[in-house]
Structure 1
Amino acid sequence: MKKSPLYVMALLATSFFAACADKPTEVPKSDELLPDSLIKNVQTVPVKLEDENGVIKLNGKVQANEARQAKVFALVSGKVQSLKVELGDFVHKGQVLALLNSTEVAGIANDLANAEANVTLAEKTLATTKSLYEGNLATEQDYLSAKVNYNKSVADLQKAKQVASISGGNQAQYLIKAPISGYVIEKNITNNSAIRPDNNADLFVIADLSDVWIMANVYEADMNSVHLGDEVKVSTLANPEKSYTGKIDKIYNVLDASTRTMKVRISMNNANNEFKPEMFAKVKVDRKVTQKALAIPAQAMVMDNGKNYVVVKKNNKLSVQAIQVMSRFEDKAYVTGLALGDEVVTSSQLFLYQALTNN
């Protein structure tokens, strides 16, 4: 007996809400309650065998090239007297970043002065002892002792000079200088802050941003589709209409347990300073063709309890078919579980699925 359209719509609505309960959806029921006119007019698309290719979209972030950046530490403790730069400033190699007042530097300067005085005294003592020794007024032992004392004083002076050179201080002041030219991308001190001897945190980070990295995340499903040397297109929120070309030059073969992603690196020339550290970036990777696969419109799929299904039309009959998704690109899905030429429904498939699995 043919059912009225009102009865069918009521049945579809009832079955849709009934699906909210945790009811198994594995075994499709009959489509006998669906009117022939509805089955006849549903839109379908045939399953095709196509090259499994497409574009993989990745999310990334701009970072400074680690080989082109330097972390700046203070080699002595002290108190910040003045800051000469701010975050984001461009600095030249050797430029003073901050000035510290340091008792350690004062001690180093004092040690250097004492070492210089000891060398002068030891040199005079050696000359006097040598003269006395040559006049038989001093023993050989006295002369050798004076020579050893002079050599020791010279060694102490050399050590004091090296320490002073490493510390870079002058009297009681210590100058923190930029080791490279670049931008200040981190600043972790303020005026009048104290630098303790046990402080191992960097005070500044200087980066040459003429070359930067794009660090992108690759999901597990796409890991085998990304290769070293793959060409990519990069865009940013600052310039969404502009596309930058690059290549994947590093794959970090470690999976992040929390995000289930693997990082890849793209080195980008930044001569125009368009990329800024911490910028978000969108990366598109052209997926290389590996094989042919059955392709269907992604909109035809229905997900239920973590599994994917499609509604298939055959001989003017509808049925539900479970599928496995191999990959998905844009509006196309590559699947298994269907046969070449099968007609999958692309209109009202959710309601049809509910009707077929709950009547």
Structure 2
Amino acid sequence: MKASVLAPAVLAAAATACGPSERPPAPAPFWVQGDVIAFADPSSRSSTVVVEPVRRGGAARLSLTGRLVWDEDATVRVFPPVSGRVARIATDLGRTVRKGDLLAVLASPDFGQAQADTARAEADFRTAEHNLARVRLLQERGAAARRELEQAEADHDRARAESERTRARLRLWGGERAQDARVDQAFPLLSPVGGLVVERNLNPGQEVRSDGTTPLFVVSDPRRLWVLLDVTEKDLADVAAGARLVVHAQAYPNREFAGRLDRLGAGLDPSTRTVHARGTVANEGGLLKSEMYVTVDAETPRPGGRLVVPARAVIDENGRQFVFVEERPGRYRRTPVSLGAEREGAVPVVDGLAADARIVTEGSLLLEAAWAGGGKS
């Protein structure tokens, strides 16, 4: 089928070569000049070369590969603020916890020291209060000097400040559970947020350190996940923050998950030459899992749609794309274009074509062969 467009030219050339020498040569069926190929008889190409105007598609759709991670706005990695040994684990992987729920208990000498400091500060504060009251009474009766009262007041203020400091440290470490006067070295590790325990990295009797780099628990809200995307330079014109996302997971081929593009990076990654983007996706039924690889369709509606061409009209040459644009019937120009990613047989035009251009949609390979052959002759 594709070879038929050049068959008349080949037969005419053969007849000229084999005929009598006195017969005048037949005119060339086409000629090539630069990027232009023109046919002597425009009607000769009508059955094999189809020309159509470029059309405008609907919403710009871009297919990307993404990776799901926990929503960091609703995720907390729980590290121990004190060193110690795991005495008891109060929850497990996959359980739902509320803010302030007990996750584990650590036997911690550091926490015991903090408890002892608080108890001692409380005792000193009570003693300072009693001493201040006694000196005030004596001073009122003239049995104590003014200097003794001032000293008692200063001791009282220092004791109160130390008591508040040590209690604040216990509140920071252990919340309300740490406010009693016991010194038991039992540090309560509490959940700072409500959610699902999605990771647990401790065992009974394990020694843990306050400067460790691995969280003991990870608590997150799995009802919404982040999807991380990499957008190439060529596709930057097709995406924008706020675009609707449709997420497809290989585990659920017949399901679609709705999302939205939240952030588009300000610069390119120098190693991958891509822009990092981030979106959110609703995790209906908890089907999606963190670290899943997914396919994401990003839609960015544009006023009036955008120019698209059929994929069959595109000539690919060493990474560059060309289409044949009709200048007039029988005359076509080989035009370089910048294109987006193909989807469902259509390719979005980034640059290179006018809105009223007419391009060859059938027979472009035959024109390419004729152009290449004509250019070499």
Report how far residue 245 of structure 1 moved.
3.2
Given that 1:47 and 1:296 are in contact with CA atoms closer than 8 Å, whether structure 2 keeps it comes out as no
Report SS of the residue matched to 2:131. helix
Mapped to 2, the partners of 1:341 and 1:199 lie a distance apart of: 64
Residue 270 of structure 1 aligns with an amino acid whose one-letter code is N
Aligned partner of 2:85 among 79, 84, 88: 79
Mapped to 2, the partners of 1:357 and 1:190 lie a distance apart of: 75
Matched, 1:274 2:290: no
Structure 1 residue aligned with 2:274: 261
Given that 1:300 and 1:349 are in contact with CA atoms closer than 8 Å, whether structure 2 keeps it comes out as no
Given that 2:74 and 2:221 are in contact with CA atoms closer than 8 Å, whether structure 1 keeps it comes out as yes
Mapped to 1, the partners of 2:271 and 2:47 lie a distance apart of: 43
Matched, 1:216 2:221: no
Mapped to 2, the partners of 1:150 and 1:325 lie a distance apart of: 79
Aligned partner of 1:340 among 338, 358, 363: 358
Structure 1 residue aligned with 2:131: 125
Unaligned runs of 5+ residues in structure 2 are 1-9, 15-32, 38-43
Alignment of structure 1 residues 1-359 onto 2, 5 Å:
43-53=48-58, 54-168=60-174, 169=178, 171-199=184-212, 202-270=215-283, 272-289=285-302, 296-309=309-322, 321=334, 323-330=336-343, 331-333=345-347, 334=349, 336=352, 340=358, 342=360, 344-345=362-363
RMSD: 4.0
Mapped to 2, the partners of 1:250 and 1:217 lie a distance apart of: 12
> Which moved further from structure 2: 67-76 or 343-352?
343-352
TM-score (norm 1): 0.73
Mapped to 1, the partners of 2:321 and 2:92 lie a distance apart of: 55
Report how far residue 346 of structure 1 moved.
5.6
Report how far residue 269 of structure 1 moved.
3.2
Mapped to 2, the partners of 1:272 and 1:63 lie a distance apart of: 16
> Relative to structure 1, is the Cα distance of residues 247 and 122 closer, same or farther in structure 2, using a 3 angstrom cutoff?
closer
Instruction: Spell out, residue by residue over 1:30-65, the C-alpha distance to the aligned partner (whole angstroms, 9 max, x if none).
Output: 9xxxxxxxx989954424221155521122222322
Report SS of the residue matched to 1:243. strand
Mapped to 2, the partners of 1:227 and 1:139 lie a distance apart of: 77
> Relative to structure 1, is the Cα distance of residues 355 and 314 closer, same or farther in structure 2, using a 3 angstrom cutoff?
farther
Given that 2:313 and 2:361 are in contact with CA atoms closer than 8 Å, whether structure 1 keeps it comes out as no
> Which moved further from structure 2: 77-86 or 348-357?
348-357
Report how far residue 131 of structure 1 moved.
4.7
Mapped to 1, the partners of 2:98 and 2:366 lie a distance apart of: 65
Report SS of the residue matched to 2:66. strand
Mapped to 1, the partners of 2:47 and 2:166 lie a distance apart of: 90
Given that 1:310 and 1:345 are in contact with CA atoms closer than 8 Å, whether structure 2 keeps it comes out as no
Instruction: Spell out, residue by residue over 1:322-342, the C-alpha distance to the aligned partner (whole angstroms, 9 max, x if none).
Output: 532333432223474796254
Task: Provide the identity percentage.
Answer: 23
Given that 2:135 and 2:144 are in contact with CA atoms closer than 8 Å, whether structure 1 keeps it comes out as yes
Unaligned runs of 5+ residues in structure 1 are 5-25, 31-38
Report how far residue 162 of structure 1 moved.
1.7
TM-score (norm 2): 0.70
Residue 240 of structure 2 aligns with an amino acid whose one-letter code is H
Mapped to 2, the partners of 1:44 and 1:190 lie a distance apart of: 73
May I ask how many residue pairs the two structures share in their alignment? 331
Report how far residue 71 of structure 1 moved.
2.8
